[in-house]
């Protein structure tokens, strides 16, 4: 499965799990939390699942997946929080403090976010910026 389809797969089942918790009000709170918390492991255990390298996505794909825009004048995008558990161990990106593109290790990424976006950025594949290297 290509990167975009893998992202759509994760996004779809994350939204379904959240919607179930919202709507199945008879679920006990511990079960509802477990239902959400166990989702990454379940999805990653699915046949054909591959961890996601976000630098393989095009600008159009990032837009469709709601990656955050750094600015109107830049192709740089911010990585959505929902994608964090599914990232490859290392990808090419930068931080909001230093936009210089370099290897980013997932182990070094914290889950702090602003409006649902991590403090990590990347250029879309085939862009005028860094792209897919």
DSSP state of 92: E
Residue for token pair 């976010």:
113
State the average pLDDT for the chain. 92
Residues 6+ apart with CB under 8 A from 92: 55, 101, 102, 103, 104, 122, 130, 133
pLDDT of residue 129: 55
Query: Residues 25-52: pLDDT tens digits?
Result: 999 999 999 999 999 999 999 999 999 9
CB atoms within 10 A of CB 80: 20
Residue with the larger pLDDT of the pair 107 and 71: 107
Residue 53 near residue 3 (C-beta atoms within 8 A): yes
User: Of 116, 107, 7, which Cα lies nearest the Cα of 56?
Assistant: 7
pLDDT of residue 131: 44
* Ranges of each domain in the chain: 3-44, 54-122
Query: Residues 85-118: pLDDT tens digits?
Result: 999 999 999 999 988 899 999 999 999 998 999 9
């Amino acid at each position: 499965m290509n990167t975009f389809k893998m992202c759509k797969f994760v996004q779809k089942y994350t939204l379904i799990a959240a919607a179930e918790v919202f709507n199945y009000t008879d679920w006990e709170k511990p079960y509802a939390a477990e239902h959400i918390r166990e989702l990454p492991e379940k999805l990653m255990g699915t046949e054909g699942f591959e961890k996601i390298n976000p630098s393989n996505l095009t600008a159009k794909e990032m837009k469709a997946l709601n990656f955050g825009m750094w600015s109107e004048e830049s192709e740089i995008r911010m990585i959505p929080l929902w994608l964090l558990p599914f990232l490859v161990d290392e990808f090419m990106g930068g931080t909001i403090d230093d936009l210089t593109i370099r290897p980013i290790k997932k182990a070094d990424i914290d889950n702090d976010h602003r409006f649902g976006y991590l403090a990590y950025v990347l250029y879309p594949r085939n862009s005028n910026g860094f792209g897919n290297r």
